[in-house]
A and B are shown apart, each in its own frame.
Chain A
Amino acid sequence: MQWEVVIGLEVHAQLSTESKIFSGASTAFGAAPNAQACAVDIALPGVLPVLNRGAVECAIKFGLAVGAKVNRRSVFSRKNYFYPDLPKGYQISQFDLPVVSGGELVIFVDGAEKMVRLTRAHLEEDAGKSLHEDFHGKTGIDLNRAGTPLLEIVSEPDMRSSLEAVAYAKELHSLVRYLDICDGNMQEGSFRCDANVSVRRPGAPLGTRREIKNLNSFRFLQQAIEYEIQWQIDTLESGGKIHQATVLFDSDKGETRAMRSKEEAHDYRYFPDPDLLPLEISGEWMAEVRSRLPELPQAKRARYISAFGLSAYDAGVLTSSKELAAYFEEVAEIYPEPKACANWVMGEISGWLNKAGIDIHDCPISSRALAGLLIRIGDGTISGKIAKEVFEAMWNGEGGADDVIESRGFKQISDTGALEKIVDEIIEGNPSQVADYRAGRDKLFAFFVGQAMKATKGQANPAQLSEILKKKLAG
């Protein structure tokens, strides 16, 4: 019998503000321990939180981008629990009145479109970090991260496979970077996913879910969900029961493991924070933010298809990140053959970036330089095959396309006289093949092209060569 998988995701996106959500301390990554933890962040008695306008604006941008309701009025609440990296004994979060309600995100899985509904997105503060090693049996506390603004984005349980969950996470990741509200750096913890996973018989009520915490890469997200699904199915099929639990993913072993469950741990006793009045967002503010929204991935995809004539797949790949899309558009502006530009950006550029493990903004070939190379293919100076060699040389810092073509003598031979001479020599040197060809073995044509390319080190203009060969071989 079949099982249906049900997945909902909670994503914590660290907002890229300069200062913290309730204090004027810096949020820069990598400072010396506690150098960026001010009196508010370490909860000295008597301090009061003051909300950062920039953090609210990030939430508004997000709400508008996903077609959600940006609530005119929202409330900050205290979520109470004790942990050494939470100095106040509570986290300021939002509970029943979040800043953003609803919304949706379109994802693509195996070429098909699917809509994932969002439940809500709310503002909250991050906790500090606990370092458990090397302090003679004690735990070290760094509060630099305490008070960093987070937008917690909660989806409805609309995903039905690990692939859909990953597609959703990637789409969200791309969106927050387009909006410039989160740097998306998963290794530094700027974008963290929790996955709620359950299985059920199709049509049955929702099964009991287990929540996998703190997944900080798309690969781990997929692996953890797949392991968890299999574990739940095995457990149920062998007659066991699933108990609601929080689990951690051990990426070394590839397993999920339940954390020691503390029955009271989830009694957070939320109540409105008396230190913070209700947050009001005016219609004017929302309109002003809306006017500054950039073109979003979905709109960009549609434009690439209609204006550039690209396939949905190509448009999807090119718009997957704001930086890649910008690079492609710069190339296509200088060399207005969008399909050729798309092929090179998705082919050579992406391939070499992958191999080198770097991002597009560290690409050694600028958009202008790539366009320069495409221009030389377009005007017949070099063939597509030679262009790949030129590309490699450009990647290795040998200069622009024209420099490489010049220094390596790659110029395509388009001189009819020179090509005719080469063809004459080949015909002379291969009398039996010529005879066979003339007797009707058309397939031998490729042999002559090969010989000519060999003789010209691949630099013959292919169209011209083919024309001359046909003429001369015809006798």
Chain B
Amino acid sequence: MSISLNEVKRIASLARIAVSDVEAEAARAQLDGIFGLIEEMQAVDAGDIEPMSHAQEIVLRLRNDAVTEVDQHEAFQKGAPEVEAGLYLVPQVIE
């Protein structure tokens, strides 16, 4: 399996990453290498093995349902470019 330049550009656009044509070509070559590895691995017959979503056989730790956080929005908002009435302001988004 190989990946086209258009596919690279589409993925970059979905991820909001600006890539020049030169960068896209470099990324395409690298991704092709990765897909090559995947292809090699797919040669292994894993039909009766349950797929894993993570590499280790450990499970999720849960926490009890309790409020442990306090209001720190003023501290958090010190780093925000623009704030008003407790809200973060961003360029207008109209759907």
Interface residues of A (CB under 8 A from B): 17-19, 23-26, 32-39, 42, 44, 50-56, 73, 75, 80, 82-84, 97, 130-132, 135, 137-143, 259-260, 264, 267, 269, 272, 274, 276-280
Cβ contact of B65, chosen from A17, A84, A264, cutoff 8 A: A17
Asked whether, in the complex, the Cβ of B90 is within 8 Å of the Cβ of A44, the reply is no
Shortest B10–chain A CB gap in Å is: 7
Ordered by A's residue number, 17 sampled pairs between the chains whose C-beta atoms are within 8 Å are A33-B87, A34-B73, A34-B76, A34-B86, A36-B69, A50-B62, A51-B60, A51-B63, A52-B65, A53-B62, A56-B62, A132-B92, A138-B91, A139-B92, A264-B10, A276-B60, A278-B54
Residues of B within 8 A of A44 (CB): 76
Residue among B54, B60, B94 with max Cβ neighbours from chain A (10 Å): B60
CA distance A139 to B92 in the complex (A): 5
Asked whether, in the complex, the Cβ of A18 is within 8 Å of the Cβ of B93, the reply is no
Asked whether, in the complex, the Cβ of A19 is within 8 Å of the Cβ of B90, the reply is no
* Nearest neighbor of A246 in chain B, beta-carbon distance: B95
Asked whether, in the complex, the Cβ of B62 is within 8 Å of the Cβ of A51, the reply is yes
Residues of A within 8 A of B64 (CB): 52-54
B71 at the binding interface (Cβ < 8 Å): yes
A75-B53, A84-B90, A269-B14 in contact; A42/B65 too (CB < 8 A)? no
DSSP class of A's interface residues: helix, strand, loop or mixed? loop
A279-B60, A280-B60 in contact; A26/B13 too (CB < 8 A)? no
Shortest A323–chain B CB gap in Å is: 23
A25-B67, A269-B14 in contact; A139/B89 too (CB < 8 A)? yes
Cβ contact of A50, chosen from B53, B54, B61, cutoff 8 A: B61
Residues of B within 8 A of A140 (CB): 84-85, 87-89
Asked whether, in the complex, the Cβ of A141 is within 8 Å of the Cβ of B88, the reply is yes
* Nearest neighbor of B16 in chain A, beta-carbon distance: A82
The 8 A CB mask of B48-87 against A (1 = contact, 0 = none) is: 0000011010111111111111011100110000101111
Cβ contact of B13, chosen from A39, A54, A264, A274, cutoff 8 A: A264
CA distance A322 to B18 in the complex (A): 55
Asked whether, in the complex, the Cβ of B53 is within 8 Å of the Cβ of A272, the reply is yes
* Nearest neighbor of A73 in chain B, beta-carbon distance: B59
* Nearest neighbor of B92 in chain A, beta-carbon distance: A139
Asked whether, in the complex, the Cβ of A39 is within 8 Å of the Cβ of B14, the reply is no
CA distance A295 to B48 in the complex (A): 42
CA distance A276 to B58 in the complex (A): 11
Interface residues of B (CB under 8 A from A): 10, 13-16, 53-54, 56, 58-69, 71-73, 76-77, 82, 84-95
Q: What 5 pairs across the A-B complex have the smallest Cβ distances?
A: A54-B65, A24-B68, A140-B87, A33-B86, A38-B69
Residue among A34, A56, A139, A274 with max Cβ neighbours from chain B (10 Å): A34
Residues of B within 8 A of A26 (CB): 67, 69
Shortest A334–chain B CB gap in Å is: 36
Asked whether, in the complex, the Cβ of A141 is within 8 Å of the Cβ of B67, the reply is no
Asked whether, in the complex, the Cβ of B62 is within 8 Å of the Cβ of A139, the reply is no
Residues of A within 8 A of B92 (CB): 132, 137-139
CA distance A84 to B16 in the complex (A): 13
Shortest B84–chain A CB gap in Å is: 6
* Nearest neighbor of A271 in chain B, beta-carbon distance: B53
Cβ contact of A277, chosen from B59, B67, B82, B85, cutoff 8 A: B59
Asked whether, in the complex, the Cβ of A139 is within 8 Å of the Cβ of B76, the reply is no
Residues of B within 8 A of A139 (CB): 89-93
CA distance A269 to B91 in the complex (A): 25
Residues of A within 8 A of B77 (CB): 34
Residues of A within 8 A of B14 (CB): 80, 264, 267, 269
Residues of A within 8 A of B63 (CB): 24, 50-53
CA distance A112 to B54 in the complex (A): 47
CA distance A35 to B75 in the complex (A): 11
A39-B76, A53-B63, A277-B60 in contact; A34/B68 too (CB < 8 A)? no
Residues of B within 8 A of A130 (CB): 93
Cβ contact of B84, chosen from A32, A135, A137, cutoff 8 A: A135
Shortest B37–chain A CB gap in Å is: 17
Asked whether, in the complex, the Cβ of A38 is within 8 Å of the Cβ of B72, the reply is yes
* Nearest neighbor of A264 in chain B, beta-carbon distance: B14
CA distance A402 to B1 in the complex (A): 86
Residue among A42, A130, A140 with max Cβ neighbours from chain B (10 Å): A140
CA distance A272 to B87 in the complex (A): 31
Shortest A80–chain B CB gap in Å is: 7
Residue among A36, A80, A97, A260 with max Cβ neighbours from chain B (10 Å): A36
Residue among B15, B58, B76, B77 with max Cβ neighbours from chain A (10 Å): B76
CA distance A259 to B95 in the complex (A): 7
A34-B77, A53-B63, A53-B64 in contact; A25/B84 too (CB < 8 A)? no
Residues of B within 8 A of A84 (CB): 88, 90, 93
* Nearest neighbor of B87 in chain A, beta-carbon distance: A140
